[in-house]
Amino acid sequence: MNFANPDDATLGALLDRVRTIAVVGLSPQPARPSYRVAQAMQHYGYRIVPVRPLVDRVLGEKAYASLADIPFAVDLVDVFRAAEHVPAIVEQCLALHLPAIWIQEGIVHEAAAQRALAGGMTTVMDRCLLKDYIRLKTA
């Protein structure tokens, strides 16, 4: 069975209810795509939570070494890690009962996406969070 992303209405509803986004692999370097996407989403009013070991702060927010270290609720996990890391991230999300995962454009792991869906998570894969936000919410 092939993974299919949610339709635009579902994506729009997800973006409406999300307030806090944990960005796994958020780089502290402004030239990196993860930084640019997170900075823009922060500008649009979302709270960005960096998840990256060995970094203290990114975009003015305290960074956490793992999803399990975040001491408050997260509405969406945005993944900027290579595909081979996605299954472990999905398992962390499921263990923490997180509601949604967005696997960024260019990152594809079919089995992990299916696992997230089967675990009850809203799941988006190989799409850019910022591009979809702009397309659905700023037009």
Beta strands 76-79 and 100-103 are parallel
User: What digits encode the pLDDT tens for the residues 43-93?
Assistant: 999 999 999 999 999 999 999 999 999 999 999 999 999 999 999 999 999
Q: Which domains does the chain have, with CATH numbers?
A: 8-137 (3.40.50.720)
CA distances from 58 to 81, 90, 93, 112 (A): 16, 23, 21, 27
Q: Looking at this protein, which amino acid is placed at residue 87? A: P
Please determine, for residue 1, whether its predicted confidence score (pLDDT) is greater than 70: no
Q: Token pair of 61, please?
A: 């927010």
pLDDT (tens digit per residue) in 83-137? 999 999 999 999 999 999 999 999 999 999 999 999 999 999 999 999 999 999 9
From 127, 65, 118, 59, select the one nearest 87 (Cα to Cα): 118
